[in-house]
Amino acid sequence: MTRQRLYLYDTTLRDGQQTQGVQFSAAEKAEIAQMLDRLGVDYIEGGWPGANPTDSDFFAQAPATRATMTAFGMTKRAGRSADNDDVLAAVMNAGTPAVCLVGKTHPFHVREALGIPLEENLDNIRASVAHLVAQGREALFDAEHFFDGHDEDADYALACLRAALEAGARWIVLCDTNGGTLPERVGQVTRAVIAAGIPGDRLGIHCHDDTGNAVACTLAAVDAGARQVQGTLNGLGERCGNASLTSLIPTLLLKEPYRSALETGVTAEGLAGLTRISRRLDEILNRPPARPAPYVGASAFAHKAGLHASAILKNPATYEHVDPATVGNERIIPMSNQAGQSNLRARLAEAGIGVGRDDPALARILDLVKAREDAGYAYDGAQASFELLALAELGRMQHYFTVERYRVTVERRKNALGKRISVSEAVVVVQIGGERMLSVSESMDAEGHDRGPVNALWRALAKDLGPYQAAIDDMHLVDFRVRITGGGTEAATRVIIDSADGQGHRWSTVGVSPNIVDASFEALVDAIRWKLVRDRVVPA
Amino acid sequence: MTRQRLYLYDTTLRDGQQTQGVQFSAAEKAEIAQMLDRLGVDYIEGGWPGANPTDSDFFAQAPATRATMTAFGMTKRAGRSADNDDVLAAVMNAGTPAVCLVGKTHPFHVREALGIPLEENLDNIRASVAHLVAQGREALFDAEHFFDGHDEDADYALACLRAALEAGARWIVLCDTNGGTLPERVGQVTRAVIAAGIPGDRLGIHCHDDTGNAVACTLAAVDAGARQVQGTLNGLGERCGNASLTSLIPTLLLKEPYRSALETGVTAEGLAGLTRISRRLDEILNRPPARPAPYVGASAFAHKAGLHASAILKNPATYEHVDPATVGNERIIPMSNQAGQSNLRARLAEAGIGVGRDDPALARILDLVKAREDAGYAYDGAQASFELLALAELGRMQHYFTVERYRVTVERRKNALGKRISVSEAVVVVQIGGERMLSVSESMDAEGHDRGPVNALWRALAKDLGPYQAAIDDMHLVDFRVRITGGGTEAATRVIIDSADGQGHRWSTVGVSPNIVDASFEALVDAIRWKLVRDRVVPA
């Protein structure tokens, strides 16, 4: 059977930029365009030339891509010709091989937003698309509010599509601009459009996630015959976001009925890079990746339930619908007080700690984890502390150093210039191999600002650990999370610290105490111990 | 037309607890159960009694609810009778009116995970459900991996459902346990199940979001005739999460074809509380609410595109599929100062602070809030600090006291008995009505345990505030949340403190600083100031 070609159209750089709080630089746009090109999408919508300086800069220096670079704009305004519309001219001037113009298809919007007769809107669509074609560009028409328009007046909405098609548009894109149409209805209307004579291989679909159905609406349109899919990486986009290509691409490539019936420009190798691309985008946006994201999230293949984890050990297919490696992700069996012994063994095995099935230490470790979780610890977010606990219980933990005492002071006052400042100072006394070492440190960043008691403690500790200096030199703290567990007199503070090193490792440790500084210190010490274990440092 | 009853089954407290990194305390579970009850769900699945101490504690003291409290467990194990299965006994001992048992329906799992003959699995289902019914409980059967099982051997999968139904199960729940089934297929199989004689009003649906389709799969099953919907608040749950009731409930209540055809236990008033419930759950989890979440997210009705925002001002229906007020959310137009000002006035009016429409302070407050939010403050979760900021900008803030300086020390060492202890001590210098007061305090709870630097500062401050003593005497700190905002050298710590008093008031304040102690102190001082304002204390 010949598979039909399905085209992927990415709008991360245009609709994705409409996400509240997102503002790409031109350089970031160029990097994302290159990632998309490596992934294998067919079209990259780079922005709206002329609408803002960043988009204009991006097109002026757009990277060379295999994918068709596309500029976005709107149909010409009423009362002027396509040649004389300066907004449209700015779009054309970007010189992209393809141009996508959004236009009205919903009579309510033609009346309310444009305030022109319905026939004049048809003329605008026709003239704008013809203008693109005359200039040798591949023309796409984004039919704004198409589904709502079709509900109000199907004949008019279809007439808008025909106007674009007859003027030479390569693609007619059905847009559910407000995101309110449900999948069943998207399927029905798409079938009606094809039945009315617009061929499926000229039809695209553009959905938003306002009901949590953007992916399903997109699949419903593909089921009905549409052969272009629009979306964004990580589902960025206006309001609740666009359909997530990060979710759609694996489904289209890996799952039936799509796998056998359709082909795209994404190879197995491109797909295996998907998790990395998703995480890199979040790095650019400086936000934590969504752990539960389908396919690429850190929790997407995390098996917390004891029942699931024990079956996964026998056969991963029992609780995984696809192999995590196909999308570049990995399986995680976190520790928690729901875990059983098989879960525990699997978790240890993944950390490179082999334990026999009947080792009595397994039961002791489980009991200890349960007792500590009842006291406020949380090991499924702090794998490194869990591994240290297990190594100690198995009698395999090296002894590196003992902290004899510490003292940390935070002071807030006016300095000599009358400015309010704070100063944090820490003293730490450590014993290493029989030697006693005392050190003091202030907390201070590169600009001379106080960064608080935990930073001061970290600096004093790092100073103290002379013989281990080389091992911890490239280590730094990247995140810090605190919460109160329990309540009343049972209340304790749980601190989770994320650390990273120059080799690209990232690990999390936990500390619990009614005293936040003490809890932080416990997590800090664990972070250092884990790094020493990981690097197989020999105790002094 | 009579609307059919659709039942809502919430499993936030059970499957939601399977979310990586989530671990509720029994008290948090009780609070969530009460929120769900106010929302109007029909069933609350509270956990798995006997599987861990928290779940057992929760059931031992479960709050009284209108919703049917349900315990979760699994069908009896092979080789013993239902009466003699200690795991099942622990579930029954929770004494809930309803019990939901998960069991196998997929031959592959019966072979791989249980290792018993297919017929014996049918016996286990039959005997377990009969045992629940004999003990007077409402019985639910979770058909694990039903869709995969139906693909392998439809006759066997259906035989499992019939075994449960004939033994007296009120509900048969079709579970897509691995989350890999797509909506179209969920609809087909659900129709096949009904055609095979299992009535739709005895059928439930339980989906996971591994392809980003959990909501759509659930709707597809409802379209096919299933009349119980399982899900979680905010889509918590194993791996990528369960179907989000937070997305499903508004769709089922507000949108066609569901609005006219179905009715649930959720009233318009309950629906209007949905955004608040969603945000409160994230507070309990100490995580930032997902801005793009359908219906309840902070961005769900944020109109960033210029084209959209100007049309919204003419008529909100142009770019909104539902009215944000119906779900207790609000419209945000980031670039429109006009809309910002009316929102602001409404918010101040709610706090009892009346401001004229043309007061120039409104623009100043908006600018200040925006600048401070850019610096890491978050006023959405700290209404009291927001009110203090507005009062100051309006020139209506009383001056109560000035903190001249403070110093806090945390020390960890061995005491005279050789036991490791920590001690926190704070010195605070305050000016009140021209007088300078210096006080020192240790942190210590009733049992003599150190509770850390924030507690020590609170005690020293409270000691110092002599003339205001009566007003702050019944005030205490009930919660404390910390996050890092920004990254790298821009990183700051945001502390939100919840306080309460003997009159039942509860309020939240925020502090931001690179130094966690300093951020906490700022929030503490705001907490006291707000209490003095609230009680109309006259400055000394």
Search chain A and give the residue with CA nearest B180.
A321
Distance of residue B352 Cα from the nearest chain A Cα, in angstroms: 30
Q: Cβ of B410 and A489 within 8 Å?
A: no
pLDDT over 80 at A173, yes or no: yes
Q: Does domain B4-266 have CATH number 3.30.200.20?
A: no
Strand extents, DSSP E, B282-434:
402-414, 420-432
Q: Cβ of A223 and B184 within 8 Å?
A: yes
Distance of residue A303 Cα from the nearest chain B Cα, in angstroms: 7
Q: What is the end-to-end Cα distance of chain A in Å, rounded?
A: 67
The percentage of residues in chain A with a pLDDT greater than 70, rounded to a whole number, is: 97
Search chain A and give the residue with CA nearest B15.
A305
Distance of residue B48 Cα from the nearest chain A Cα, in angstroms: 10
Q: What is the end-to-end Cα distance of chain B in Å, rounded?
A: 68
Chain mean pLDDT for chain A:
91
Topology agreement, domain A4-266 and domain A402-534: no
Search chain B and give the residue with CA nearest A177.
B319
Q: Computed from CA positions of residues B468, B474, B475, B476, in that sequence, does the dihedral angle turn out positive or negative?
A: positive
Distance of residue A300 Cα from the nearest chain B Cα, in angstroms: 5
- Count Cβ–Cβ pairs < 8 Å, chain A vs chain B: 341
Closest CA to A451 of B484, B453, B526: B484
Contacts 24+ apart (CB under 8 A), A130-137: A130/A82, A130/A167, A130/A168, A131/A76, A131/A82, A131/A83, A131/A88, A131/A92, A132/A92, A132/A99, A132/A101, A132/A168, A133/A167, A133/A168, A133/A169, A135/A92, A137/A92, A137/A96, A137/A97, A137/A98, A137/A99
The average pLDDT across A244-250 equals 98
Q: Cβ of A453 and B23 within 8 Å?
A: no
The length of chain A in residues reads 540
Instruction: Supply the pLDDT for residue A335.
Output: 62
Q: What tens digit of pLDDT does each residue of A175-212 get?
A: 999 999 999 999 999 999 999 999 999 999 999 999 99
Instruction: Supply the pLDDT for residue A53.
Output: 78
Which tokens sit at A256? 């039936």
**Distance, CA of A177 to CA of B265 (rounded, Å):** 31
Distance of residue A186 Cα from the nearest chain B Cα, in angstroms: 12
Q: Cβ of A407 and B408 within 8 Å?
A: no
The residue that leads in pLDDT, A98 or B479, is A98
Question: B130-139, B166-175, B507-516 — which is least confidently predicted?
Answer: B507-516
Question: Least CB-CB distance to B514: which of A300, A449, A481?
Answer: A449
Question: Least CB-CB distance to A412: which of B108, B297, B406?
Answer: B406
Would you list the domain boundaries of chain B?
Answer: 4-266, 402-534
**Distance, CA of B399 to CA of A399 (rounded, Å):** 56
Distance of residue A419 Cα from the nearest chain B Cα, in angstroms: 11
Q: What tens digit of pLDDT does each residue of A473-491 get?
A: 888 887 777 877 655 445 6
Search chain B and give the residue with CA nearest A323.
B180
Q: Cβ of B518 and A422 within 8 Å?
A: yes
Question: Least CB-CB distance to B407: which of A239, A317, A411?
Answer: A411
Which tokens sit at A97? 């091989």
Search chain A and give the residue with CA nearest B242.
A292
Where does A402-534 sit in CATH, by number?
3.30.160.270
Q: What tens digit of pLDDT does each residue of B493-530 get?
A: 888 888 888 887 889 899 999 899 999 999 999 999 99
Q: Cβ of B23 and A320 within 8 Å?
A: no
pLDDT over 80 at B7, yes or no: yes
Question: A202-206, B40-44, B167-171, B399-403 — which is least confidently predicted?
Answer: B399-403
Q: Cβ of A21 and B407 within 8 Å?
A: no
Distance of residue A450 Cα from the nearest chain B Cα, in angstroms: 7
Search chain B and give the residue with CA nearest A446.
B489
Q: Cβ of B514 and A450 within 8 Å?
A: yes
Question: Least CB-CB distance to A211: which of B51, B54, B247?
Answer: B247
**Distance, CA of B70 to CA of B169 (rounded, Å):** 14
Question: Least CB-CB distance to A485: which of B25, B74, B405?
Answer: B25
Chain mean pLDDT for chain B:
90
Q: Cβ of B240 and A294 within 8 Å?
A: yes
Chain B positions touching A48 (Cβ under 8 A) are none
Closest CA to B82 of B92, B97, B72: B92
On whether the pTM is more than 0.80, the answer is: no
Chain A positions touching B514 (Cβ under 8 A) are 445, 449-452
